[in-house]
Structures are given as C-alpha cells and as structure tokens.
Amino acid sequence: MITETKDFTGRVAIVTGATRGIGRAIALELARRRANVAFNYAQSAEAAETLRAEIEAAGVKCVATQSDVANTEAAAEMVKGVKDEFGRIDFLVNNAGIVRDTLILRMKEEDWDAVIDTNLKGAWNFAKAALRVMLRQDDGGSILNITSISGVVGMAGQSNYSASKAGMIGLTKALAREVASRKVTVNALALGMVATYMATAMDVGYRGKL
C-alpha cells in the first residue's frame, strides 16, 4: 500500500491543547510535514517547552502560548499573534478538551460549565478568530474539530462531554456551510477510545462503555 505524505512547507498551523495526547501527536506530525506550528497549553510550562523543542528540532518554527481556550479575548489574541508572526494561518485543529464524568444527578453545575466552555466554546472561539484570517487569504484554509464518538451515540456518565462533542459536530456542519464558498474547509473527526492520559484517567466503568 502506497501512502502519500503531503508536504506543508511554509504552511502555518494552530493546535489547541497540544502538550499531550492527540494534540501533541498532531502537532508533531504537522512539524514532521514541515508546517510551522503554534499551540496553546493550559498548565504545564515544562511540557510545553519540551514540545516546542521537539517541533523546532524538525526544522520549523514554533510558538507556544499559555491560555484558556474558553476565554474569547485570549483566543483572539493568540490567533492575532500567530498571524503577526507568520503572516498567515492555514490550519486550525480544535483539539483542547476536558472531561468531568459522573451521572447527571451527581454532576455539579461547574462540571457542566467547565466541559462545555472548554470543549465547545473553545472551538467556537478559535474558529471565529482563525476564520477572520483564513477568509482574507486567496487560498483559504482548513479547520479540523476533534470530536468524539461520545457526541454521536451519547455515553452514560458523560452528559456534559457528550453534549459538548455533539455540539462540535453541529458547529462543524454549520461553519462548513458558511465558509465553503470561500475556500475554507471545516471537518470533524469523531474518535473512539484512544490511549491517552485523559482516557486512562477516566472512570473504568465509563471507559468500558466506549
């Protein structure tokens, strides 16, 4: 089987929540394909510095920003910084996500809000900011929203997470209709269980249902 590895030399990508798991793998693959990579992280400056060094070791440029994806102004500021640094934005990967799993009768309001704000509002924040750049480019751009099978079928104990990921699917469909004519593609990738830190930290009862 022959697979083509696309060369992204000169392209610029933003990956949210990239210091571990799926986001980290995506950021490194983009760098391997010669794209310049900007990513944000929420907490670990050490993990961010390690990733930045690995990306730059691939011979490309990297910008790391500590920010909360749920903060609209912070998202817009980061995107503006990337545009100012590189002159364009070709790819946005909305990967940042958290879980606060429990049955709905035990779920606290703050657990609902945190997951919806990070997973869904975060994707909306970065998509809105990035589209302001992409729609002004002659060759458009591409947005990929990392969602979950949980948003397709629903999972017990994940009413907040399932709702956020289903919302990302709806967001993807709506944005695709809005911007397709301007050479911007918007897609969603609904993953099943992937062996990441977040997945292994989930309650075993919920993991068994995925």
H-run or E-run covering 168: helix 159-179
Examine the residue annotation and report whether 161 is marked as an active-site residue of this protein: yes
- Among 41, 161, 197, 206, the active-site one is 161
Contact 167, 120 (CB under 8 A): yes
The distance of Cα 193 from the centroid of its chain, to the nearest Å, equals 17
How is the beta sheet containing 62-66 ordered, strand by strand?
62-66, 36-41, 12-15, 91-94, 141-148, 184-191
Sign of dihedral through CA atoms 155, 194, 111, 172?
A: negative
Those residues whose C-beta lies under 8 Å from the C-beta of residue 107, and which sit 6 or more positions away, are 100, 159, 160
Active site residues: 161
